[in-house]
Amino acid sequence: MLVNEAVGTRQVDVDQIRLSLQARHDELTNEYEEAVAQSQVLRLVEVGDTAGDDQADSGTKTAERDTAQSLLRTILDRRAQYEHALSRLAEGTYGRCEGCTEPIPVERLEIYPSATTCVKCKQTRERRAA
């Protein structure tokens, strides 16, 4: 199935989609690298600044470290979604729902370019997970 058939686009649009997906992937890569650098600085500050810490200080540092790790995981997850979307575009399956193989509405892809499911399948999946 060609992406053109799935989302009703021309080759020019496919190229634009690819560029848009790749640009967002690159932005997320840069965000990740910046977050890693900030996390390393935070660790260096923690290592050099532990004298006189009480339980509140330790708790604050732990919370900051957990927040930084959560941010890194979130960025990596989002970047993986864009990698998957680029892979689907290359395979010709971008724009088709992975659940029911029906076309994903263009409006959904415009809002959430890395979407892999239509709204109906997404809602079904979320209900099952709840």
Q: What is the pLDDT of residues 110-130, one digit of tens each?
A: 899 999 999 999 999 999 998
Three-state DSSP state, 93: coil
Q: List the one residue out of 57, 68, 86 whose CA is nearest residue 32.
A: 68
Name 115's Cβ contacts closer than 8 Å, sequence gap at least 6: 104, 108, 109, 122
By the 8 A CB rule, do 104 and 5 touch? no
**Nearby residues of 21 by Cβ (< 8 Å), 6 or more positions away:** 82, 85, 86, 89, 113, 114
State the alpha helices, DSSP H only, in the chain.
3-7, 11-48, 55-91, 106-111, 119-129
Q: How far is Cα 96 from Cα 103, in angstroms, rounded to an integer?
A: 4
| pLDDT value of position 42 | 76
Encode pLDDT of 43-99 as tens digits.
776 666 666 667 776 677 778 888 889 999 999 999 999 999 999 999 999 999 999
What's the whole-model pTM score?
Answer: 0.76
